[in-house]
A and B are shown apart, each in its own frame.
Chain A
Amino acid sequence: MKLAELQSLFQASVLDAEPSPHLLARLRPPGRAESVAETFAVYHDGFRLRMTEFLANDYPVLRAALGELAFGAMAEAFWRARPSTFRNARWFGASLPAFLRTAPHYCADSFICGVAALEAALAKSFDAEDAEEIPISALAATREEDWPQLRLGFHPSVVVVETSQAALAAYEAAQTGEASLQSGGAVRLLVWRRDLDVNYRVLEGGEDMALVAAFDGAPFGEICSLLAFANPQKPAEELAMAAGNYLARWFADGMIVAAATAPG
């Protein structure tokens, strides 16, 4: 049997529920174990343990929420649907939230989907690319008439994620060791890294809208227009002030790495 055929057979025997008798027939009897199936199990069972462990490393709160048995079943459903094509195991579990959102057994569970989304966002922010933050004083030279064209560049670690109040409470309870009883609807979080530490906070409506627009490259003037469209009852000056405050906070939080007034 050629090397490529043998590797195909070996791999299939690891992934399938039982190893192929054709493969076992091509293996030498082991030194001491009763059967070659017993030693092949080191690869077969080890693969399942390893996939579960990779996911548990990235999703510890999800594992605690599901329990060992259900987490193991979810892990197997995941690797069967999305087997790893990554050289680095770090990326294997990154698409777990996307899988859960579409998997019939999990998609209706906003808590489980929310915990997975939150932990994936934290992991993504943790080792996102480095970039130098700039201070708000970088805007000092911006002329008044140029402000509407101002565009911001965000730190690569900035992530906006939709989760649930209950998922957030479960995550926070896991950090403090306290029980979590909170329930509630959807909540959107802003996640970012500063000084190597990952931070998060809940996004309220106005800031959420402004941030998503700014993140997509909208200039400051367009962000103000969006806020005005969403809040027709509020005076323009108040909305401009709110937009300015959001912007100041993003700078203060170290999330801004570029600012330019050139037309985009």
Chain B
Amino acid sequence: MTECEKLADRAQGFGLGLRTVYYPDILESPQPVDWFEIISENFMVPGGRPLAMLDRIRADYPLRMHGVSLSLASTDPLDFDYLRALKKLIARVEPELVSDHLAWTGAHGLNLHDLLPTPLTQEALDHCVERAARVQDFLGRRIALENPSTYVSFADDEMGEADFLAELARRADCLLLLDVNNVHVSAFNHGFDAKNYLDRIPKERVAQIHVAGHSDLKTHKIDTHDHPVSDAVWELFSYVREKFGPIPAMIERDDRFPPFSELLDELGFMRRLAEAGERVAA
């Protein structure tokens, strides 16, 4: 296998979210992680340690960029200052993939710094299609949009979320980032069938998979990224791998950070599960 093939192979593999708490482990020695995903906004700063660490890690690993502030579904105008900063970071990182969410983060110039749910209406779909296309035109590349965890849904919804995403991806010619934990959380919260949701996702559009842990409040679940991935989510992940084949996949962890070795064990589990699924599929 040539160096280029090895790099391409790693980019197709299994990754982790890059978080500062793990910098010492990542910088100390090579880690069995094929790539890391950064939160784009964490590196949209003028300089200093964040960008220096980013450059050091980028020298050794492929990176993917995941944003939380695009606010695709907002009725506010697109923020081109933000998009310019994003484009500048893309030029620096040269990521395999740039992604954000099907969500809005605020209106009337405010930012609530949350991934707020959008009604699943034709009006919202048209709005998101138009904005996704403009974002891609500005960035000069396709982006992937992630299905969010949601805790409320709207009486005026005219379609399911999977159908909304499929149509959005088709019309805007964008990619999808399939967050399996979010499917599980939203399915529980709204009472829909997770596998039926996954069956409606166009697999040729799925560029990346997320899994993560969540908090179970019995009456509803919250996407907190502060627990190991649950058995139910691993089961859905296996279903996705069997159905969709090999797609770059990663674990998100954002709180109650375990030792890095534990996260690597969880990543190893993900690899074995995926490989087992591929053997079954074969």
Contacts from A to B (Cβ < 8 Å): 1-4, 6-8, 10-11, 14-15, 25-28, 30-34, 36, 38-40, 42-43, 46-47, 50-51, 54, 83-90, 92, 125-130, 156-157, 193, 196
Q: Given A7-B104, A85-B109, A88-B69, are A30 and B220 neighbors across the interface (CB < 8 Å)?
A: yes
Candidates A1, A34, A85; contact of B156 at CB < 8 Å: A1
Are B107 and A39 neighbours in the complex by a CB distance under 8 Å? no
Inter-chain contacts of B124 with A (CB < 8 A):
3
Whether A3 contacts B220 by the Cβ 8 Å rule is no
Q: Name the CB-closest residue of A to B128.
A: A3
Known: A28-B153, A126-B49, A130-B48. A83 touches B110 (CB 8 A): yes
CB-CB under 8 A from A129, the residues of chain B are 46-47
Whether A11 contacts B152 by the Cβ 8 Å rule is no
Contact of B113 with A30 in the complex, beta carbons under 8 Å? no
Min CB–CB distance B204 → chain A (angstroms): 29
- Docked Cα-Cα span, A28 to B157, in Å, equals 9
C-alpha gap A47/B151 in the complex (Å): 14
Asked if residues A32 and B191 are in contact (CB atoms below 8 Å), the reply is yes
Is B119 on the interface with A (CB-CB < 8 A)?
Answer: yes
Contact A84 B46 (CB under 8 A): no
Contact B189 A30 (CB under 8 A): yes
Given A128-B47, A196-B48, 12 further pairs, Cβ under 8 A: A31-B188, A38-B220, A39-B220, A83-B110, A84-B112, A87-B44, A87-B71, A87-B111, A89-B113, A90-B44, A127-B50, A157-B48
CA distance in complex: A54, B119 (Å): 28
Q: Is there contact, CB below 8 Å, between B155 and A27?
A: yes
User: Whole-angstrom distance between the alpha carbons of A59 and B105 in the complex?
Assistant: 24
> Within the complex, what minimum Cβ distance (angstroms) separates A88 from chain B?
5
A9, B56: Cα distance in complex, Å: 45
Residue of B nearest to A25 (CB): B155
- Could you list 25 examples of A-B contacts with CB < 8 Å? A3-B124, A6-B119, A8-B107, A11-B107, A11-B110, A26-B155, A28-B154, A30-B151, A31-B220, A33-B189, A33-B220, A39-B220, A50-B114, A51-B113, A83-B110, A84-B113, A85-B111, A87-B41, A87-B79, A88-B69, A127-B46, A127-B51, A129-B46, A130-B51, A196-B52
